[in-house]
Structure 1
């Protein structure tokens, strides 16, 4: 081919090429990094690249998940139309047929089993508008008290502890940009390097500034590279460890009495409790030497500024609420809150784990963090919604308790949006068995997830590229996610689906919305005067800036740092609490001699439904694994890189072994992103925290054995 002819074809190809830009936010973790997806079409083929965009939280950084998020949104297996199960097989149906099916089946359940026989199960990745509308949908359209969401498994322990202690729950009490000013930082049960890697530079800057890092974790994770002191604690004894810290602080004169006297209640009771504690006893319980406990406590207490961060490792325990409360005791008795570089943070997991729990998805909450059992709160929300207070259902039960009610026959129909409880719930085989007994199961999802496969009807929803709305990130910043990509022809947005179902059920007058912004404006009004007050936040403002809540008026700047003057209880004081040396309900035995703990890996997210559809992410971790210390492996005859069986009282899972000297010898670790035989939540403990109903994911007793012949096992 001549040079002129080659140039001709190149010019023709260029003429046929087009480029489209989509501004968006990452759909995964709570940082909510911003980016631009570039779609370049040449002839009939599309090529994509991702360009990070600056923002005040992650400053233009993206992790491997964000860089490849578009791969699942564009995956050929995405659901493109409603699917109805007929004779055990899914068949494509029209939206009219799908809505008629819901109308017929939901009304039949309401008639014969009662309104509360319908359950609604939401998700922490829904936008604020969709989370708000789902709560309204359950209580107004379905008229059921049974609604909860998968955020119950994420933030409930920390959220309830902050509400009890401070009178309000916001994930971080300070801006992320204050982290470099903390002279001592405690990271308890949080692996930020793999779960929220784009905020790690804040911690690196703190390290460069001379901050002292104490990391509490039974494993040596990537985050432990920051540690000046790594406390490789016995799983489930975090509350006892903090009692040890408090013992040292009380005995050696590090209490900030001026702060305690002015701004807290309950100090005398706490001191009496701590006086009875012996440090040697704490050391024996936790596996951390007394002198190390003393050293760590003094490092934090004597530092001019300090911050404490917790996450699921501490919170996903059957005493998670009280464990977090003890960390908050630590913050309060040293006066390290409400000031620059001083505060507490619960590192939110899901993309909208913060906003998702503020506006009505939780069984006991109404929008604005109002209490569903409070008569004044009920009256306010009923007025906003245009119903009588008597019509508003009372408190329901938590996410896992709904599964128990299904098993007991009290809930006979369920609507699931943005969640995959067959993989994410503890004792997952029980959950699967329960869901199979439902008279009607409707699931809204991007893909035919493990839960969707059990459904009678599956409805296709939009991806993050197509779904405009607000997200509240881990700092409490409200962000606006634009959505300029048009969804596939028969795909609807979550809020549209809810409005259309409400309409066919005869409740459409309460759901006359034509945009996400209209829903947000009602949310603003519903939240007005509540703890999570969004009233002063508008789409117009959010197009210019990210705004912290509480923000009660249009001229309010937003609240970046909490508790500078007082706490949110009526008397303005925080509540100290007596926390006993609590332990996991399930202890290791001769039959089940190891502790099992679970967590994440960098390239996957939650139940893996989305990330396993991304070739770039799936290839990094193609299967699950169990991390085991070589000495423990030798004891139980486990070779490296071989299939092993993990068993608890609830069942078994099969994964591949992975030797690691970075974990305690009495503990094994398995990530929770896989399904089927690799689903570790088939065997995790379904005991619940009595305060917040968080399951005990992070600790259960397990035995491990080699698999010589998988066919025989």
Structure 2
């Protein structure tokens, strides 16, 4: 074990650690080596290499190559901070944890346990995500817990459950991609968001696959496409209806599969009778021939995979939009066999596992439902409590912020997230957190949210803590640490156990390691939809990763292909859903004549709390920007590099303009990695999808105004 005292994690010269990237859902494996430095020699301090693995095949992107830089940043928090006289000041763990526990007790006694909220993150390990859910329900007794993954995967997750009976990011394997003869990439820019997966797509293309990219921008991913459908944002569900109509016209549906393995197709067929391609073309801004071509390419292909991501999902009809793309998969029978399937391209490192074991408001471990009596009884038995000790379901992440604003939630504990930047309608969220009675944050850095806190707790980094994460395929991976926690930092799970002890609940939180927590998680998930019972740390070490569901240690590794013979509904059949062709939830008008959408860039992750502490990554993207078409820029008196204020009905922010002819006219694209005056979420739409509570990030009516000679702070 490499020992540290009061400095961020470092290696001795010549030493190395094997780990995995803390960023996106591919979870690439990494070897980090400290270089020998000869006197006067100038060379990189560390060598970073990819380790061969099933997902990335040993590749790394620029984020993975520089992931260690934030760990050794001088900005790392090394001891707890407590607000005194209006300023955060160093404190002991005794004082910091005591303040949190005392406040939780007082709030619970005066207002009830539901006056406390917990807000987690999709980058936490499975062990911490599991424990956070248990801590909320048993340690505190509150129903209010949710996490930032609500903004990532909730639409695809709910659509998968309703359609297939289960939600796992990919129903197929990454190695199936080169076997597909048609690939639909809907609202996903893999080249910037999961770049180590791009070789799978290039191999598919070399094998003769037709690639269809659905995106209002000509992204680096779209440049690979045989057909780029540059639609109006928010019209994905309508486009899927058009493609379905084309499949029916061309006779490219699989009647035998539909009859034997699905329910609801007659209702969908009747719905499609009223669909007119001319109307779909008008809604989407595409041509009828483009839509018909997409139907032909996908319909005539022997094998095919459909991928969706945030462009489709972060809409107020995201659930139904994804279900309509799943209608395409079912109508053609392209699922349950090599080279076929559906994939939701997860954004966060543990976006898959983070939603399986209890961080979501309506879930218990193993993807059990908190309102299901049998599920409650089973998990209560694992936890050693009566079922009525487990609170009922709470509300989604943004709805929690509304309750904070209303004074219903009076105390909030945030772990592994930065909600003041990541939530829509960010000005309301910031105001809510300014006025809350008590805010505690566990983080590595002083994020925008942590700066507002009453207590900040320093936590360990990915190189310093053990745990499992589940990648976008549904493959559970073990990440083991080699470095001891620097300074006074502590593991997330250790903090939760200590707080539970101070609240008189130590009997339920007697863990000495992450592996002990995982052993309980295995049991809590047993028999659930996301069954991890057959997975152990030893097995993960031997096999490098294991797909769930895995109900038994004795079973061989599954093929990774879901639904080969039956779906997860009780009758074994998948379900079609007729979906209306809607316009975007918010349309431009005279006051807000443009459409604002948001997304990611290659060099940053989430709200940039970690990547902005990496000199190499921060230098690639210093400021935020608004991508704007040349004709739109000219119309509003803007040139490349000009500062502009962008406003919506919610609020305003300021960024530089990046003039680019590869974006649709009258559309503004702004990345979501910056806070403060450059935070796009000051203007995004908080309206929620009624099915999954996903906010409508991707379509906000907006205006743009030049800010000559002015730059934001």
**1:17–1:43 Cα contact (<8 Å) kept:** no
Q: What residue is the counterpart of 2:7 in the other structure? A: none
Extract structure 1 runs of 4+ deviating beyond 6 A.
Answer: 43-46
- Is 1:553 aligned with 2:552? yes
Aligned equivalents of 1:47, 1:509: Cα separation in 2: 45
Q: Secondary structure of 2:697's partner?
A: coil
Cα distance change of structure 1 residues 49 and 591 upon mapping to structure 2, 3 Å threshold: same
- Is 1:256 aligned with 2:251? no
Q: What residue is the counterpart of 2:179 in the other structure? A: 181
- Is 1:565 aligned with 2:565? yes
**2:598–2:670 Cα contact (<8 Å) kept:** yes
Q: What residue is the counterpart of 1:427 in the other structure? A: 425
Q: Which runs of 5+ in 2 are unaligned?
A: 1-10
The superposition leaves residues 386-416 of structure 1 with CA deviations (integer Å, 9 ceiling, x where unpaired) of: 0100100000000000001111111000110
- Please show how residues 307-346 of structure 1 align to structure 2 within 5 Å: 307-346=305-344
Of 481, 486, 492, which residue of structure 2 is paired with 1:494?
492
**1:316–1:694 Cα contact (<8 Å) kept:** yes
Q: What residue is the counterpart of 2:590 in the other structure? A: 590
- Please show how residues 289-438 of structure 1 align to structure 2 within 5 Å: 289-438=287-436
**2:283–2:583 Cα contact (<8 Å) kept:** no
The superposition leaves residues 469-503 of structure 1 with CA deviations (integer Å, 9 ceiling, x where unpaired) of: 00000011100001011111311000000000000
Q: How far has the Cα of 1:42 moved from its partner?
A: 5.8
Aligned equivalents of 2:388, 2:226: Cα separation in 1: 57
Q: What residue is the counterpart of 2:74 in the other structure? A: 76
Q: What residue is the counterpart of 1:688 in the other structure? A: 688
Q: Secondary structure of 1:222's partner?
A: coil
Q: How far has the Cα of 1:711 moved from its partner?
A: 8.1
Q: How far has the Cα of 1:558 moved from its partner?
A: 3.8
- Please show how residues 507-656 of structure 1 align to structure 2 within 5 Å: 507-545=505-543, 546-559=545-558, 560-656=560-656
Q: Secondary structure of 1:38's partner?
A: strand
Of 16, 21, 26, which residue of structure 1 is paired with 2:21?
26
Aligned equivalents of 2:636, 2:122: Cα separation in 1: 39
Aligned equivalents of 2:157, 2:248: Cα separation in 1: 27
Cα distance change of structure 1 residues 90 and 259 upon mapping to structure 2, 3 Å threshold: same
Aligned equivalents of 2:35, 2:56: Cα separation in 1: 26
Q: How far has the Cα of 1:578 moved from its partner?
A: 0.9
**2:594–2:668 Cα contact (<8 Å) kept:** yes
Of 34, 37, 40, which residue of structure 2 is paired with 1:39?
34
Aligned equivalents of 1:195, 1:406: Cα separation in 2: 32
Q: What residue is the counterpart of 2:703 in the other structure? A: 703
Q: How far has the Cα of 1:668 moved from its partner?
A: 1.1
Structure 1 window deviating more from structure 2 (102-111 vs 246-255): it is 246-255
Aligned equivalents of 1:553, 1:712: Cα separation in 2: 56
Aligned equivalents of 1:59, 1:585: Cα separation in 2: 41
Q: Secondary structure of 1:619's partner?
A: helix
Cα distance change of structure 1 residues 95 and 306 upon mapping to structure 2, 3 Å threshold: same
Aligned equivalents of 2:280, 2:295: Cα separation in 1: 13
**2:234–2:585 Cα contact (<8 Å) kept:** no
The superposition leaves residues 190-244 of structure 1 with CA deviations (integer Å, 9 ceiling, x where unpaired) of: 0000000001111110000010011100000000121000000011111001101
TM-score (norm 2): 0.96
The superposition leaves residues 536-566 of structure 1 with CA deviations (integer Å, 9 ceiling, x where unpaired) of: 0000010012100000001223440000000
- Please show how residues 3-402 of structure 1 align to structure 2 within 5 Å: 18-40=13-35, 47-402=45-400
**2:678–2:712 Cα contact (<8 Å) kept:** no
The superposition leaves residues 606-664 of structure 1 with CA deviations (integer Å, 9 ceiling, x where unpaired) of: 00000000000000011011111101111111111110110101111110011111000
Cα distance change of structure 1 residues 626 and 17 upon mapping to structure 2, 3 Å threshold: closer
Aligned equivalents of 2:534, 2:469: Cα separation in 1: 16
Cα distance change of structure 1 residues 490 and 208 upon mapping to structure 2, 3 Å threshold: same
Q: How far has the Cα of 1:44 moved from its partner?
A: 12
Cα distance change of structure 1 residues 712 and 323 upon mapping to structure 2, 3 Å threshold: closer
**1:189–1:311 Cα contact (<8 Å) kept:** yes
Cα distance change of structure 1 residues 17 and 370 upon mapping to structure 2, 3 Å threshold: closer
**2:237–2:581 Cα contact (<8 Å) kept:** yes
Aligned equivalents of 1:514, 1:44: Cα separation in 2: 43
Q: Secondary structure of 1:436's partner?
A: helix
Aligned equivalents of 1:518, 1:468: Cα separation in 2: 11
Aligned equivalents of 2:106, 2:21: Cα separation in 1: 40
Q: What residue is the counterpart of 1:13 in the other structure? A: none
RMSD over aligned Cα atoms:
1.5
Structure 1 window deviating more from structure 2 (35-44 vs 364-373): it is 35-44
**1:644–1:657 Cα contact (<8 Å) kept:** yes
**2:640–2:658 Cα contact (<8 Å) kept:** yes
Q: Secondary structure of 1:444's partner?
A: strand
Q: Secondary structure of 1:164's partner?
A: helix
